[in-house]
Amino acid sequence: MPGPSKGGTTFLDPYLGLKRGSALYHVANALHKDLQERRAEKRSRQGRSDAASRMEAVAENIIANLALLSLSPPLTPGEVLAVSTAKTKSTRYDRTDLGRHLWPQLLDELHAVGAIVKYPYVFRQQLTTVEPSADLRARLGNGSLDDLTRREKSETIWLSARTADQGWHGDPPPKELIDYEDNRESRRYRREMATINRFLNEADLTFDGRPLGPIALRRNFLLRRVTDPIEFNLNGRLAGGWWLQLPSRDRHRIRLRGEPLADLDFKGMFVQLAYRGLDWELREDFDPYGIPGLEHYRDGAKLAMLSLLGRSKRMRALSPELRKALPEGWTVTRLMDAVTKLHQDIAPLFGKDRAVELMFQESQILVALLLRLVDLRIPALPMHDGIMVPQSMKQRAKDAMGQVSAEWLGGSPLPVTEKPIRKDGATSAAPSTH
């Protein structure tokens, strides 16, 4: 069978479940009973008393993930669900109460009864992906994302290692998850994430007036090589929040505690941190992304700085993404000349793989800020270099941002800006790139 015609992929969350008695729970329960009848003879021969309950849990999990895929507004990363069907040993990222072999088995059965459309695994090209059939999609439409729940004890501290120095055609280097042993840092970071997730799940977060399911933020750490010792001091950025993929034009549809949001950023944080590492403090009126010739291509300027600081070698060609974000006719030489003209002091850092170190600093400040806001009872949706908070709380949040950044970095606080949230998606901080 050919692959899905629609782009984008969402990865299955094995800890997602359904509230007992909810509409979606009844959909999953009915499907499970249908499948149970089909396998009745085989199950009786196996004689396993716990088989049915484990299969029911997996069926519930798959339906919960398909419901999230189907019922979310157009803000999810993709439109098909990727499920690992590899026959590998379980790791700390898997559910230990259920065997990994059960998901492929349930997918085959759901496909056989016409509940899902399945696109098989293709070596090095495509994971096993599924989407609900038209009939199941209609049945899922009788429920809501408020029917979803989530099991505790899912892993919130992820550690990956690069498996190559660079990716193909300008892509990031490929990575693999590491099944690490806990240490003091991983335990502390996990406790911090539990505090943040618990507070956000109590915060009355809605999109167009309705909840979008449980929140399970995690931190993604990195090793430069698979052979490196286990440490948690690179990257560390937060992931897993649906608002992180939400186009800026749709942020006005979010409410926290019934209020519209204020979008607060640390101004030019990534570049600011590079300078702070050299014991420099930029003037507050200095624009770190004001690269000559890119004044109207701010997204391109940001991407260029991230690429130059993130590379492990000299830039020799523009990636397709970067080329698209720059004015027509720009070359590597022209870009390097323009960036160096504005940032000659940090130019020696280009091509030295410093971005993952800066991301770690950025994430440490952001997590410390979120914990401070928990103490202040201010709910905040984290972005990579800022937060979104209820409008009535923005001044207290701004004050906390300044205090936390000064505490972590020493010297002056990082400057904070507010980006207007408008229905047309326009912001003063991000002019059009066209």
Query: 0.85 cut: is pTM over it?
Result: yes
CB atoms within 10 A of CB 200: 21
Q: CB-based contacts of 371: which residues, under 8 Å, 6+ apart?
A: 192, 195, 196
DSSP states of 330-382: --HHHHHHHHHHH-TTTGGGTTS--HHHHHHHHHHHHHHHHHHHHHTT---EE
At what angle are helices 184-200 and 355-375 packed, to 10 degrees?
A: 50
Tokens standing for 259? Answer: 């209020």
pLDDT in tens, 229-258: 999 999 999 999 989 988 889 999 999 999
Is residue 41 very low, low, confident or very high in pLDDT (cuts 50, 70, 90)? low
Would you call 116 helix, strand, or coil by DSSP? strand
CA distance 130 to 107: 8
Which whole-number Å values give the CA distances from 224 to 163, 180, 302, 316, in the listed order?
A: 8, 15, 23, 21
Closest to 238 in 3D by CA, of 284, 197, 279:
197
Per-residue model confidence (pLDDT) at position 383: 94
Assess whether pLDDT exceeds 50 at residue 429.
no
Give phi and psi for 311, each to the nearest 5: -80, 150
Assess whether pLDDT exceeds 50 at residue 7.
yes
Q: What 8-state DSSP symbol labels residue 411?
A: S
Is residue 432 very low, low, confident or very high in pLDDT (cuts 50, 70, 90)? very low
Q: What is the average pLDDT value for the chain, to the nearest integer?
A: 89
Per-residue model confidence (pLDDT) at position 170: 60
Assess whether pLDDT exceeds 70 at residue 75.
no
Determine which of 36-40, 140-144, 290-294, 357-361 has the lowest per-residue pLDDT on average: 36-40
Contact assessment for residue 333 and residue 307, using Cβ atoms and an 8 Å cutoff: no
pLDDT in tens, 126-159: 578 999 999 999 999 999 999 999 987 899 999 9
Tokens standing for 343? Answer: 């940032």
Percent over 70 (pLDDT), the chain:
90
Assess whether pLDDT exceeds 90 at residue 10.
no
Give phi and psi for 11, each to the nearest 5: -90, 140
Assess whether pLDDT exceeds 70 at residue 45.
no
Is residue 324 very low, low, confident or very high in pLDDT (cuts 50, 70, 90)? very high
Per-residue model confidence (pLDDT) at position 98: 86
Angle at 9 between CA 178 and CA 3, to 5 degrees: 115
CB atoms within 10 A of CB 111: 16
Assess whether pLDDT exceeds 70 at residue 211.
yes
Per-residue model confidence (pLDDT) at position 76: 55
Is residue 433 very low, low, confident or very high in pLDDT (cuts 50, 70, 90)? very low
Q: CB-based contacts of 142: which residues, under 8 Å, 6+ apart?
A: 23, 27
The residue ranking higher by pLDDT, 7 or 88, is 88
Contact assessment for residue 213 and residue 76, using Cβ atoms and an 8 Å cutoff: no
Percent over 90 (pLDDT), the chain:
71
Per-residue model confidence (pLDDT) at position 270: 92
The conformational region for residue 411 under phi > 0 = left, psi -120 to 50 = alpha, else beta, is left
Is residue 5 very low, low, confident or very high in pLDDT (cuts 50, 70, 90)? very low
End-to-end CA distance of the chain: 39
CA distance 360 to 273: 10
Q: CB-based contacts of 337: which residues, under 8 Å, 6+ apart?
A: none
How many CA atoms are closer than 13 Å to the CA of 392, on its beta-carbon side? 8
Tokens standing for 119? Answer: 């696109």
Contact assessment for residue 219 and residue 237, using Cβ atoms and an 8 Å cutoff: yes
CB atoms within 10 A of CB 180: 18
